[in-house]
Structure 1
Amino acid sequence: MAAPCYLGWDFSTQQLKVIAIDEQLRVIYEDNVHFDKDLPEFKTQGGVYIHSDRLSVTSPVLMWVKALDMILEKMKSSGFNFSQVRAMSGAGQQHGSVYWKKGSIQILKNASSELPLHQSLKGCFSVSDSPIWMDSSTASQCRALEKALGGAQHLANVTGSRAYERFTGNQIAKIYSQNPEVYKQTERISLVSSFAASLFLGAYAPIDYSDGSGMNLLQIWEKAWSKPCLDACAPGLEERLGCPVPSHSVLGPISPYYSQRYGFSPDCKIVAFTGDNPASLAGMRLQEGDIAISLGTSDTLFLWIQEPTPALEGHILCNPVDSQTYMALLCFKNGSLMRERIRDECASGSWDEFSKALSSTVAGNSGNLVPRTRILATGGASHNKKILQVLSDVFNAPVFTIDTANSACLGSAYRAIHGLVAERNVSLADVVKLAPEPRLAVTPTPGAEELYRPLLKRYAELEQKVIYNPASSCLVK
């Protein structure tokens, strides 16, 4: 009999990724489908459509379903033994939303194993192109939501964030106001994460607390939908969202579709999927006092926190591995895009030249700013040691990396194991004891703290100018 294993999925912006780990937490399989390259028929750029107004950004829902079909067929061709999978969980790009048409639940439940899933589901979505985290077309809806809740700070006190244009509540409000008939024909609204879980479950999967707290709709303290927020966005919204659940919840067994088509065990369990940043927190095995920095399509800083105080910048989300605590998150939309632009303009398009330029710049950058705990780094740019050195010097802390840049995928696999034992009060930290420890990448340059400490005040002043100046190009996501 094959040894048990666990799957972690990541439905990210540009690709679908999967990772399998065994009971010793060793990676035994890894694969991906790149949307632009492997599914050219959808004609996406970077996995998305940027519309003519330059504000609306969407992705085709069926592309995600077809990518799942494709990656499962790749696994099957490689000889992967699906019957050994005991449980799976996954992640989705945060804030994206999927709109299921009335009657779709029966199609999802009864999909024929003779057909690829995308063929069965092609008529199931009332909105064919999902708004995603890059969308910034809902400014008027954000203003209306903050007004309805008594101001931006009060909304943040309730939901963990002031109104943000990409957040799901505001996207739903836009769809309701512009296309009320489309909204009327929608029986369920999923996040990308709960949508992906639904594909495996063969039923509508609930939204988990952690990803749900990135919607401007969830009361993060009570872990329930806020009625004033729901009412401000659209009528009948609570029934379309379903009840949120703890992030470690076992949702049920895998749909018979996968047992019949691929040979999954009928006993394989689906653990609630969550957002990609919460999943990365699990994958990096973040502990209280650590700072994690993901250097990817967007740059994200997050940390485990016990007693948060929501503010007008940044976000407070429910912790995906401990529902009694929280994670604080700062996100900058243009992380890798800005690094690549600087590389192209200042380093002849070469990462080697980029690294040499960083090395030749004195610590403190002659007073020019770049954006006391352990720092864990992940994401594509975490492979660049010179970038990590800057992080270490600015924060005056050692920087560690983990074996895989796919921390959301790995975290999802860890969460799949945790979901099976969480009800017995077993912590994620207990589950992942066998995982390899993060590796020390760099330590602060001697004297760097004295150079950067005086710059903190100036940085704070400049940040306020960027955030509150309407004419500025706001970097904060």
Structure 2
Amino acid sequence: MKMGTPTKDATFLGLDLSTQQWKAVVVDEDLHVVHETQVQFDKDLPEYRTHGGVIRDTTDNRVVTVPPLMWVKALEMLLDKLRIGGVDLSKVSAISGSAQQHGSVFWAMGAELRLKSLDANRFLHEQLAGCFSVLQSPVWMDASTTTQCRQLEEAVGGAQVLASITGSHAYERFTGPQIAKVFQTKPTAYRNTERISLVSSFAASLFLGQYASIDYADGSGMNLLDIRSKEWSEVCLNACAPDLAQKLGDPVPSYSVQGSISSYFVERFGFSSTCKVVSFTGDNPASLVGMRLTQGDVLLSLGTSDTVIAPLVEPCTLSEGHVLCSPLSTDSYVALLCFKNGSLTRERIRHDCAEDEWQIFSELLDSTPRGNFGNMGLYYDVQEIIPFVNGDYRFNKAGIRVNRFSGKEVEVRALVEGQFVAKRAHIEDVGFVVGKCTRILATGGASNNRSILQVLSDVFNTPVFVMDGVNSAVLGAAYLAKFALQHLSQSFEEITSHLPCPELACSPYGDALSVYTPMVTRYRAILEEIVN
């Protein structure tokens, strides 16, 4: 099979290594889903004792990590589930994937040689047991690198200078500061590191049987990539650690074919030796691909973290949020705002107020009026990114902070309204205007809850659309796999033009603008009080 000409019955495999699970989807030549499955870390791999897919340090809850071997073992389980489910892996023409952004994996000296000489008769996780110089990989929820962030910003001339180079000022979860912390606190481990991967390029490396390159889209969430030149910034590299360019390798476009699949997966799982491995990217860029975002749309991913994504024609410098390289073009960009306290916070309030049942949660939400009688709540289970705040904050209609609300239904609406009012405020603060032609495309777990989406529609005063079925990140990975093989002959729009349009989930009520615009103003005042 030549690149760009998959066979008639070819399939494409999309993978998503998210915070809480590995997910797989198989699509056919027309990009229709033919199979999907997942492995949940907490449930299916209890021996690693994760909660919400991660491990929190008992002495410092800012430190959040994951053993990369858990991800390896879970991948083996995932591929076994695909085979047991009847998927013919020999028909897969190309594989691509998405992964939680900002996490980093530190490969030990000699690890690539191990990847190249895997024994198909042995488990993958057993053979890679000694291949990591840092046994616990820091992930996006880690907030322990404040010192390194300030050092990086000072080294380049300030936060705005760093944002103009890399698309973001320094953030604790970003890979550059995380690498700097490893270098400063674990110098021996850093010296013994042969290669540093993002979670996405780590996953691609497993399939390649050698180190995969970091792609532009995910690489622009590191505080290390010059988003205009698409090369590592020397000043940023030098501010973080020595010999870093060599340990990172050269970045590549997100739709690059990086090679053929490793013989290990051919012999053990039945893949074709001609199957191509396409660059894996971050979950947020992949969601953009999966939702087929166009200019003027806003994508809101409601997952473990909540993210807001909007396309940009030209890169700009934001005081809050991020500018990332597009996964579909080398000269386009996207703006992204990330909020750590997403689904896990919603699940905590569901547990406290709704007997752990989403149906009860929705009934409580629907039983309260827009505006919640003037009550307002902001909930941050973990250190938030925007704003940099932790803890629960409840305010009654008089603006007085209270310890609890009068009822569970008030608590539920305060949570949902507070989350979306904050997102609207911060989108407006970075210059985005939600106009009459704007569509909000919602994805992620909470996008299945129409009561939550109705609040979203009301707060933004714009219609909300969804795509039924598969998670957009893993679907975007599958689309990217086909696009990589055919991008020289067809545009992405042409490849996906026959797919159904997003479905209208809900529209705003007539009084939504008058209810929520004052709440956005009130949020800003409350936030200033909290931060100060």
Superposed pair shares fold, TM > 0.5: yes
Alignment partner, residue 21 of structure 1: 27
Alignment partner, residue 48 of structure 1: 54
Q: Call closer, same or farther: CA 1:463–1:405 in 2, change over 3 Å.
A: farther
Q: Which deviates more from structure 2 when the two are superposed, residues 2-11 or residues 356-365?
A: 356-365
* Structure 1 position 429, deviation (Å): 1.8
Task: Name which of 324, 333, 338 aligns with 1:317.
Answer: 324
Alignment partner, residue 399 of structure 1: 464
Instruction: State whether residues 382 and 405 of structure 1, in contact with CA within 8 Å, keep that contact through their aligned partners in structure 2.
Output: no
With the length of structure 1 as denominator, give the TM-score of the two structures. Answer: 0.94
Alignment partner, residue 205 of structure 1: 212
Alignment partner, residue 414 of structure 1: 479
Q: Call closer, same or farther: CA 1:462–1:287 in 2, change over 3 Å.
A: farther
Instruction: State the distance in 2 between where 1:324 and 1:465 align.
Output: 41
Instruction: State the distance in 1 between where 2:108 and 2:235 align.
Output: 25
Q: State how many pairs are aligned.
A: 467
Please list, as runs of the form range in 1=range in 2, the aligned pairs for 1:368-383 lying within 5 A after superposition.
Answer: 368=376, 370=418, 371=421, 372=435, 373-383=438-448
- The yes-or-no answer on 1:104 pairing with 2:111 is yes
Could you list the per-position Cα deviations for residues 371-425 of structure 1 after superposition, in whole angstroms to 9, with x for gaps in the alignment? Answer: 231011111111111110111111111111112251111000000001112234x
Alignment partner, residue 434 of structure 1: 498
RMSD after superposition: 1.6
Task: Structure 2: state its 5+ residue gaps.
Answer: 1-6, 377-416, 422-434
Instruction: State the distance in 2 between where 1:459 and 1:221 align.
Output: 35
Please list, as runs of the form range in 1=range in 2, the aligned pairs for 1:232-247 lying within 5 A after superposition.
Answer: 232-247=239-254
Q: Call closer, same or farther: CA 1:43–1:456 in 2, change over 3 Å.
A: closer
* Structure 1 position 196, deviation (Å): 0.3
Instruction: State the distance in 2 between where 1:379 and 1:443 align.
Output: 19
Structure 1 residue matching 2:488: 3-state secondary structure: helix
Alignment partner, residue 431 of structure 2: none
Q: 1:316 is aligned with what amino acid?
A: V
Alignment partner, residue 78 of structure 1: 85
- The yes-or-no answer on 1:138 pairing with 2:158 is no
With the length of structure 2 as denominator, give the TM-score of the two structures. Answer: 0.85
Could you list the per-position Cα deviations for residues 176-217 of structure 1 after superposition, in whole angstroms to 9, with x for gaps in the alignment? Answer: 001111101101000000000000011100000000011111
Q: 1:449 is aligned with what amino acid?
A: L
Alignment partner, residue 475 of structure 1: none
- The yes-or-no answer on 1:307 pairing with 2:311 is no
Q: Call closer, same or farther: CA 1:349–1:253 in 2, change over 3 Å.
A: closer
Instruction: State the distance in 1 between where 2:351 and 2:42 align.
Output: 22
Task: Name which of 7, 11, 22 aligns with 2:17.
Answer: 11
* Structure 1 position 427, deviation (Å): 2.5
Instruction: State whether residues 378 and 405 of structure 1, in contact with CA within 8 Å, keep that contact through their aligned partners in structure 2.
Output: no
Instruction: State the distance in 2 between where 1:132 and 1:447 align.
Output: 41
* Structure 1 position 430, deviation (Å): 1.6
Q: 1:381 is aligned with what amino acid?
A: A
Alignment partner, residue 225 of structure 2: 218
Of all paired residues, the percent bearing the same amino acid is: 56
Instruction: State the distance in 1 between where 2:479 and 2:349 align.
Output: 36
* Structure 1 position 120, deviation (Å): 1.5
Please list, as runs of the form range in 1=range in 2, the aligned pairs for 1:359-374 lying within 5 A after superposition.
Answer: 359-367=366-374, 368=376, 370=418, 371=421, 372=435, 373-374=438-439
Q: 1:84 is aligned with what amino acid?
A: K
Could you list the per-position Cα deviations for residues 408-461 of structure 1 after superposition, in whole angstroms to 9, with x for gaps in the alignment? Answer: 11000000001112234x322221122222111101112312332344333344
Instruction: State the distance in 2 between where 1:423 and 1:186 align.
Output: 37
Q: 1:403 is aligned with what amino acid?
A: D
Q: Which deviates more from structure 2 when the two are superposed, residues 73-82 or residues 104-113?
A: 73-82
Q: 2:370 is aligned with what amino acid?
A: A
Instruction: State whether residues 2 and 84 of structure 1, in contact with CA within 8 Å, keep that contact through their aligned partners in structure 2.
Output: no
Q: 1:150 is aligned with what amino acid?
A: G
Could you list the per-position Cα deviations for residues 255-310 of structure 1 after superposition, in whole angstroms to 9, with x for gaps in the alignment? Answer: 11111122211111111000011111111111111111111111111111112422
Alignment partner, residue 227 of structure 1: 234
Q: Which deviates more from structure 2 when the two are superposed, residues 114-123 or residues 87-96?
A: 114-123
Instruction: State the distance in 2 between where 1:148 and 1:72 align.
Output: 45
* Structure 1 position 171, deviation (Å): 0.6
Q: Which deviates more from structure 2 when the two are superposed, residues 401-410 or residues 246-255?
A: 401-410
Q: Which deviates more from structure 2 when the two are superposed, residues 252-261 or residues 269-278?
A: 252-261
Instruction: State whether residues 343 and 351 of structure 1, in contact with CA within 8 Å, keep that contact through their aligned partners in structure 2.
Output: yes
Instruction: State the distance in 1 between where 2:291 and 2:462 align.
Output: 17
Q: 1:203 is aligned with what amino acid?
A: Q
Instruction: State the distance in 1 between where 2:356 and 2:339 align.
Output: 22
Please list, as runs of the form range in 1=range in 2, the aligned pairs for 1:49-198 lying within 5 A after superposition.
Answer: 49-52=55-58, 53-198=60-205
Task: Structure 1: state its 5+ residue gaps.
Answer: 470-477
Q: Which deviates more from structure 2 when the two are superposed, residues 342-351 or residues 9-18?
A: 342-351
Instruction: State whether residues 210 and 275 of structure 1, in contact with CA within 8 Å, keep that contact through their aligned partners in structure 2.
Output: yes
Alignment partner, residue 285 of structure 1: 292
Runs of 4+ in structure 1 over 6 Å off = none
Q: 1:459 is aligned with what amino acid?
A: Y
Instruction: State whether residues 216 and 254 of structure 2, in contact with CA within 8 Å, keep that contact through their aligned partners in structure 1.
Output: yes
Could you list the per-position Cα deviations for residues 332-379 of structure 1 after superposition, in whole angstroms to 9, with x for gaps in the alignment? Answer: 111112222333334444423322232233223345463231011111
* Structure 1 position 153, deviation (Å): 1.2
